[in-house]
Amino acid sequence: MSAPDRQQRLAALRDTIADIERKPALAEAANRPRSEPGAFPALPSGLVQEVYANGARDSGASLAFALTQAKSLLTTRRSTIYYVQLAHEGKHLGLPYGPGLSWFGINPEKLVIVRVADMTEFLWATEEATACRAVAAIIAEVRGASKLLNFTASRRLSLRASANRVSLFMLRYGTRRESSAGHLRWQIMPQRSGRHAFDDRAPGKARWRLKLERGRIAGNQMDWMLEARKNGFAIFSQPAGLGQSQAQTPVLGAPPALLAHRLSQAS
Partner 1 sequence: MALHLPYWPTDYLKRAEPALKNQPLALYERIKGGLRLAALDPEGLQNGLRLGQNLADARAIWPQLTVREIDRPRLEAAFGDFADWHSNASPLVSVMTDVSRFGDLVLDITGVSHLFEGEARMLSKLIIRLRALGYRVSGAIAPTIGAAWAISHFARSQVVGDDNLVTLLDALPVAALRLEEAQLLTLTQMGLKTVGQLRQYPRKPLQARFGASLLIRLDQAFGEIEERMTPRLPLVEYFAERRFADPISLMDDVLRTVHDLAVKLKETLEAQGLGAQAFHLFLYRVDHKVMTLSLNAGRVTRDPDHIADLFHHRSQRLEAEYDPGFGIDMVRLAASSTDRLDAVQTGAFSIEEGTEDIDRLNDRLTSRLGPLAVLRTELVASRLPERAARLVPVQSGAAVPAIAAPVLQRPLKLLPAPEAVAIMAEVPHGLPASMVWRGETYRLVRGQGPERLGGEWWRKGERLKLVEPDPKKPKPYEPALPQFNPDAGTRDYYVVEDQHGSRFWVFRQGLYGSKNPTWYLHGFFP
Q: Give the interface segment with partner 1, choosing from 41-49, 102-110, 240-248, 258-266 (CB under 8 A).
A: 102-110
Q: Does 76 bind partner 1 (CB under 8 A)?
A: yes
Rank residues 10 and 202 by Cβ distance to partner 1 and give the closer one: 202
List, in order, residues 6 or more apart from 111 with CB less than 8 Å away. Answer: 80, 81, 82, 83, 96, 101
Does residue 252 contact residue 182 with C-beta atoms inside 8 Å?
A: no
Q: What's the rounded Cα separation, in Å, for the pair 267 and 265?
A: 5
3-class state of residue 215 by DSSP: coil
| Nearest alpha carbon to residue 172 among 251, 100, 93, 245 | 93
Q: Which DSSP symbol is given to 18?
A: H
Q: Give the interface segment with partner 1, choosing from 17-25, 183-191, 249-257, 258-266 (CB under 8 A).
A: 183-191
Question: Applying CB under 8 A, which of residues 18, 114, 119, 242 lies at the interface with partner 1?
Answer: 114
Question: Applying CB under 8 A, which of residues 228, 251, 252, 254 lies at the interface with partner 1?
Answer: 228
Q: Does 165 bind partner 1 (CB under 8 A)?
A: no
Question: Applying CB under 8 A, which of residues 24, 33, 96, 250 lies at the interface with partner 1?
Answer: 96
Q: Does 109 bind partner 1 (CB under 8 A)?
A: yes
Rank residues 26 and 135 by Cβ distance to partner 1 and give the closer one: 135
Does residue 147 contact residue 118 with C-beta atoms inside 8 Å?
A: no
Question: Applying CB under 8 A, which of residues 25, 47, 51, 61 lies at the interface with partner 1?
Answer: 61
Q: What is the dihedral of CA 20, 21, 22, 26, to 10 degrees?
A: -100
Rank residues 11 and 189 by Cβ distance to partner 1 and give the closer one: 189
| Nearest alpha carbon to residue 218 among 99, 2, 41 | 41
Q: Which of positions 123-142 make contact with partner 1 (CB under 8 A)?
A: 124-125, 128-129, 132-135
